[in-house]
Amino acid sequence: MNARILSPGEEALAEAAAKLRAGELVGLPTETVYGLAADARNPTAVRRIFAAKGRPSDHPLIVHLPCAEHLPQWARDIPEEAWALARRFWPGPLTLVLRRGEGVPLEVTGGQETVALRVPAHPVALALLRTFGSGLAAPSANRFGRVSPTTAADVLEELGDEVALVLDGGPCTVGVESTILDLSRLDTVGPVILRPGAIGEESLAEVLGRPVAAADGGAPRVSGSLPGHYAPTTPVRLAAPGEIELLVSRLLAQGKRLALWSRHALDLPGAKWYEMPATLEDLARLLYARLRAFDRLGVDEIVIERPQGEGPLARAIADRLERAARGSGGR
């Protein structure tokens, strides 16, 4: 691991911006997860992101902007709906898919005629974006298909050899990736959520004054929507609160060593219990760190209680857990 973790003072921000201008990659804290940032106008730098992550080159990236006023430099035919959402939710965990602006490298958009844009709410991300003065392409700073990083140390562990430096913004406060809303097909199919996040369809619909659809088959490619994404290497199994004890007993009877994450303690020899946070906010915030920690335990399987509750965070967490279970070969 060659990279350094820097506390974000003025000097560190200037160094990070200089590295980015030189076409290098920087670990970037955001309120959702850490990003792997590159100058979005530099196709060579953007290609480095794909190489570092092992991500297929047709999977588009999100461009992060210092403020909504930069939108016209990246998108064209911007609908009034986009401005209304930007006013209400930016900076924040909402990504808007719009029609690709002139000069946006096809490397960024995975060859598509749309581009994903967001203004992140993390003070360090905003400070770097302002110092840099332009858009930063930044996917989550994990290897393709793996669990997203929520601390600077996670980024080093995932991509320490690939980044010039990592800015330390502390642990992410939201913990799951931004909601992605497709506004590029407003006239034909209307607004469509491509990935659930902390901002839910209810609050989006309220601003738009029209219903918002969940992901559909005709949607553009979203790698986070592949079945096996956000996956630890240890198999993950999900169980409803009423079924978990039976499942754990059955796995223990098969001689499996287990880690268990549930709201209430289950005292079964052979299964290490970890308490699941009571609120969805805490659960989302700690989800990826917990999955990473589980992976380090060297157990045979991870059993996780399906979180109860409703609303956008409940849906976002359920979405990530389902993918973790499928991607890890559990169920």
Residue numbers of the site for Mg ion (CB under 5 A)? 140
> At closest approach, how far in Å is the CB of 98 from ligand TXA?
8
> At closest approach, how far in Å is the CB of 31 from ligand TXA?
8
Q: Is 317 helix (H, G, I), strand (E, B) or coil?
A: helix
* Residue 74 CB contacts under 8 Å (≥ 6 apart), including other chains: 40, 63, 65, 98, 100, 101, 104, 115, 117, 135
**Where does this chain bind ligand TXA (CB under 6 A)?**
30, 32-33, 35, 59-62, 93, 95, 97, 109, 112, 114-116, 120, 138-140, 177-178, 180, 194, 220-224
Closer Cβ to Mg ion, 95 or 262, answer by number: 95
> At closest approach, how far in Å is the CB of 220 from ligand TXA?
4
Distance CA 191, CA 212 (A): 5
Distance CA 18, CA 60 (A): 25
Partner touching 33 among Mg ion, ligand TXA, none, CB below 5 to 8 Å by kind: ligand TXA
Partner touching 235 among Mg ion, ligand TXA, none, CB below 5 to 8 Å by kind: none
> At closest approach, how far in Å is the CB of 46 from ligand TXA?
12
Closer Cβ to Mg ion, 148 or 234, answer by number: 148
- Supply the DSSP string of 163-212, one letter for each residue: -SEEE---S-SS-SPPEEEE-TTTTTT--EEEE--SS-HHHHHHHHTS--
Closer Cβ to ligand TXA, 107 or 295, answer by number: 107
Residues pairing with 118 in the sheet: 64
The DSSP call for residue 94 is: E
Residue with the closest Cβ to ligand TXA? 139
> At closest approach, how far in Å is the CB of 56 from ligand TXA?
10
> At closest approach, how far in Å is the CB of 271 from ligand TXA?
32
- Supply the DSSP string of 97-155, one letter for each residue: EEEEPTT--HHHHTT-SEEEEE----HHHHHHHHHH-S-EE--BSS-TTSPPP-SHHHH
Based on DSSP, count helices (H) and strands (E) in the chain, helices before strands: 10, 15
Partner touching 97 among Mg ion, ligand TXA, none, CB below 5 to 8 Å by kind: ligand TXA
Residues pairing with 236 in the sheet: 302
Q: Is 2 exposed, middle or buried (0-12, 13-18, 19+ CB in 10 A)?
A: exposed
Closest listed residue to residue 114, CA positions, set 182, 169, 48: 182
Residue with the closest Cβ to Mg ion? 140
Partner touching 134 among ligand TXA, Mg ion, none, CB below 5 to 8 Å by kind: none
Partner touching 128 among ligand TXA, Mg ion, none, CB below 5 to 8 Å by kind: none
Partner touching 328 among ligand TXA, Mg ion, none, CB below 5 to 8 Å by kind: none
Closer Cβ to ligand TXA, 94 or 259, answer by number: 94
Partner touching 236 among ligand TXA, Mg ion, none, CB below 5 to 8 Å by kind: none
> At closest approach, how far in Å is the CB of 11 from ligand TXA?
24
Closer Cβ to Mg ion, 42 or 223, answer by number: 223
Residues pairing with 273 in the sheet: 260
> Distance of CA 32 to CAs 118, 170, 236, Å?
12, 12, 23
Partner touching 280 among ligand TXA, Mg ion, none, CB below 5 to 8 Å by kind: none
Closer Cβ to Mg ion, 105 or 224, answer by number: 224
In this structure, the number of other CB atoms found within 10 A of the CB of residue 283 comes to 22
> At closest approach, how far in Å is the CB of 139 from Mg ion?
5
Dihedral, 314, 320, 322, 324 alpha carbons, nearest 10: -150
Closest listed residue to residue 239, CA positions, set 325, 150, 320: 325
